[in-house]
């Protein structure tokens, strides 16, 4: 039995950050699908590639209004455009071929074992590739197995033509009509993509607003921008039943609890993901309740050590902390530093969240409601991005104008949350994320000078307002 210092179960974004931070250790990575995980091939990269194509299409449609072209270009063919965008998407997703990633992993001296990994007992993993099973030993185990999509328990859903986001982002089909179940980040992003290429898209969300954990202003802004992109948005719309449509059974009919009906050629299920914890022998480590599935994640402490187990660590979606590649990378780095003998502690106070629609929504830290729930003495200030000079020169219309919401802790005099919906918000959010993370006094943040005319100027008025109120 080959013996390793560290074995990593899964070789996605979290795992990569672990092995990149381990020096002079014998490391094995076990992967049953692709080295690199979801992000490069099926999630972040192909979705962002398609969003960019969608955004360029939307801009081209506005070319005459911007004085960029005298009139609308003739001869748009959305299907041909979609085929070209798909080719670009697949190039960016490296053709879903992980051989380059596997080579670079081996170049780093990491042993790659392909197959499904399972813990046999503490310190022993069995890897099964379908043909052979191998056992390896390890001192430390890092669980970095990611997450998988959840299908809601809607009667009849298994009979209708559904997609997961993987199917939507790896397949060739452009449906004439698409019903998206779930108005979270993935649902909103893919709604804008498919609408841009001419699909008739309806988002069906059971909660009373899109992105229900974000600020209400952001939900409202997202709704208007999707509607401006031609998407129909139905909120407070729980699906009671799904049925196949018509004698040729080519589509789906969703019966809503309200009695309304939504028909579509395809149903994209984007109702969330759950940590991948079942069926990998984690119970042999004394971790209970994981095979029950349903929402269980691998609970970690602030050092990313799995609670209740010795020499077991976890990073990424499997921890249930925040399902983003940057969380996976951050936690993977924390695990590696601890394995290298440092005492590294994770701090999630300013972890960013982003939805890459055009324009994007970005947020970090607490929403107003979360800050109140935590018992903070909350001060908030808001700003309408349409009031910046940049919104005028950019021609960012009402739907793109967007908003900025700042949340401060009155006792400490620091920012604890930020939400921004507007052009490039994912980029200029960094300033507020730094202020939250570094606990910069609001009075100091309010003195920062921004370039004119930039969207970041939006920080000035609400920060000064907060500084005045906090000084009282
Ligand atoms: C459509 C979509 C778009 C997204 N866009 C973004 C974005 O723009 N920005 C962002 O930050 N995040 C985005 N995300 C989230 C992001 O993809 C995930 O947070 C990230 O990939 C998690 O990384 P991970 O390492 O935890 O898991 P993964 O990348 O999924 O890696 C886990 C790996 O473990 C392997 N594995 C699991 N079990 C076993 C086993 N028993 N044996 C062997 N191998 C196993 C899997 O095959 C997989 O390769 C998006 C997600 C989706 C679905």
Give the whole-angstrom CA distance, residue 130 versus residue 111: 19
Q: How far is CA 142 from CA 17, 65, 113, 323, 355, in A?
A: 11, 54, 15, 17, 29
Helix, strand, coil shares of the chain as percentages rounded to 5?
Answer: 35, 25, 40
**What's the chain's average pLDDT?**
95
Of the pLDDT bands very low, low, confident and very high (cuts 50, 70, 90), residue 293 is low
Tokens 């809601």, residue?
Answer: 152
Q: Are the C-beta atoms of residues 259 and 246 closer than 8 Å to each other?
A: no
pLDDT of residue 287: 86
Flag the least confident range among 297-306, 387-396, 406-415. Answer: 387-396
Q: Are the C-beta atoms of residues 46 and 93 closer than 8 Å to each other?
A: yes
Residue 113 has pLDDT above 90, yes or no: yes
Number of C-beta neighbours around residue 160 at 10 A: 20
Tell me which residue has its CA closest to atom 19 in ligand 1: 324
Q: Which residues line ligand 1 (CB under 6 A)?
A: 9-15, 30-34, 37-39, 43-44, 47-48, 116-117, 144-146, 165, 186, 276, 280, 316-318, 323-326, 328, 356
Q: Are the C-beta atoms of residues 22 and 108 closer than 8 Å to each other?
A: no
Give the whole-angstrom CA distance, residue 443 versus residue 467: 5
pLDDT of residue 72: 79
Which pair of structure tokens corresponds to residue 180? 């998206």
Output the CA 222–ligand 1 centroid distance in Å.
Answer: 25
pLDDT one-digit tens code per residue, 77-104:
999 999 999 999 999 999 999 999 999 9
Which pair of structure tokens corresponds to residue 213? 């954990």
Instruction: Of 251, 370, 348, 272, give the one whose Cα is nearest residue 303.
Output: 348
Of the pLDDT bands very low, low, confident and very high (cuts 50, 70, 90), residue 55 is very high
Output the CA 372–ligand 1 centroid distance in Å.
Answer: 32
Q: Among the atoms of ligand 1, which is closest to the Cα of residue 186?
A: 1
pLDDT of residue 399: 56
Flag the least confident range among 116-120, 121-125, 283-287. Answer: 283-287
Of the pLDDT bands very low, low, confident and very high (cuts 50, 70, 90), residue 396 is confident
Q: What is the pTM of this model?
A: 0.97
pLDDT of residue 398: 59
Residue 291 has pLDDT above 70, yes or no: no
Flag the least confident range among 122-136, 170-184, 292-306, 453-467. Answer: 292-306
Flag the least confident range among 98-102, 123-127, 254-258, 294-298. Answer: 294-298
Output the CA 277–ligand 1 centroid distance in Å.
Answer: 13
3-class secondary-structure state, position 310: coil
Residue 237 has pLDDT above 60, yes or no: yes
Instruction: Return the higher-pLDDT residue of 211 and 72.
Output: 211
Across the chain, which distance is largest between two alpha carbons, in Å?
A: 71
pLDDT one-digit tens code per residue, 399-420:
566 899 999 999 999 999 999 9
Of the pLDDT bands very low, low, confident and very high (cuts 50, 70, 90), residue 313 is very high
The answer to whether the Cα torsion of 332, 337, 339, 340 is positive or negative is positive
pLDDT of residue 247: 65
Query: CA Rg, the chain, in Å?
Result: 24
Of the pLDDT bands very low, low, confident and very high (cuts 50, 70, 90), residue 71 is confident
The answer to whether the Cα torsion of 348, 456, 403, 198 is positive or negative is negative
**Which residues are 241's β-sheet partners?**
255
pLDDT of residue 88: 98
**Which residues are 7's β-sheet partners?**
28, 141
Output the CA 297–ligand 1 centroid distance in Å.
Answer: 14
pLDDT one-digit tens code per residue, 123-151:
999 999 999 999 999 999 999 999 999 99
Q: What does 7-21 look like in DSSP terms, one character per residue?
A: EEE--SHHHHHHHHT
């Amino acid at each position: 039995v080959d013996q390793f210092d560290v074995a990593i179960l899964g070789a996605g974004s979290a795992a990569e950050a672990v092995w990149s931070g381990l020096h002079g250790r014998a490391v094995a990575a076990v992967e049953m699908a692709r080295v690199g995980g979801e992000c490069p091939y099926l999630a972040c990269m192909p979705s962002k590639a398609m969003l960019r194509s969608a955004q360029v299409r939307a801009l081209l449609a506005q070319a005459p209004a911007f004085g960029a072209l005298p009139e609308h270009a003739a001869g748009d063919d959305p299907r041909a455009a979609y085929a070209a965008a798909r080719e670009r998407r697949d190039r960016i997703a490296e053709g879903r071929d992980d051989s380059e990633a596997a080579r670079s992993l081996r170049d780093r001296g990491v042993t790659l074992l392909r197959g499904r990994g399972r813990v046999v007992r503490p310190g022993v993993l069995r890897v099964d590739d379908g043909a052979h099973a191998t056992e390896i030993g390890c001192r430390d185990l890092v669980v970095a197995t990611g997450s998988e999509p959840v299908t809601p328990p809607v009667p009849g859903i298994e009979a209708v033509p559904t997609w997961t986001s993987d199917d939507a982002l790896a397949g060739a089909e452009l449906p004439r009509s698409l019903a998206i179940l779930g108005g979270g980040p993935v649902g909103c992003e893919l709604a804008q993509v498919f609408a841009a290429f001419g699909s008739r898209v309806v988002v069906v969300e059971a909660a009373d607003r899109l992105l229900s954990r974000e600020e209400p202003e952001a939900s409202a802004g997202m709704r208007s921008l999707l509607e401006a992109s031609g998407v129909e948005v139905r909120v407070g719309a729980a699906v009671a039943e799904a049925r196949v449509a018509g004698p040729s059974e080519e589509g789906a009919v969703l019966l809503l609890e309200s009695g309304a009906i939504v028909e579509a050629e395809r149903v994209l299920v984007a109702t969330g993901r759950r940590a991948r914890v079942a069926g990998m022998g984690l119970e042999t480590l004394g971790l209970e309740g994981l095979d029950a599935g349903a929402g269980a994640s691998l609970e970690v402490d602030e050092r990313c050590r799995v609670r209740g187990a010795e020499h077991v660590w976890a990073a990424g979606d499997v921890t249930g902390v925040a399902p983003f590649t940057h969380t996976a990378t951050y936690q993977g780095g924390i695990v590696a530093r601890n394995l290298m003998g440092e005492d590294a502690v994770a701090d999630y106070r300013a972890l960013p969240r982003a939805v890459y629609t055009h324009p994007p929504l970005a947020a970090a830290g607490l929403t107003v409601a979360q800050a109140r729930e935590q018992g903070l003495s909350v001060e908030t200030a808001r700003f309408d991005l349409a009031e910046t000079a940049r919104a005028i020169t950019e021609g960012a219309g009402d739907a793109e104008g967007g908003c900025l919401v700042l949340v401060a802790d009155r006792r400490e005099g620091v920012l604890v949350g930020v939400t921004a919906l507007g052009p490039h918000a994912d980029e200029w959010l960094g300033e507020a994320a730094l202020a939250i993370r570094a606990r910069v006094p609001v009075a100091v943040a309010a003195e920062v000078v921004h370039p004119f005319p930039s969207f970041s100027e939006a920080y000035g008025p609400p920060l000064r307002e907060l500084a005045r109120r906090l000084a009282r």
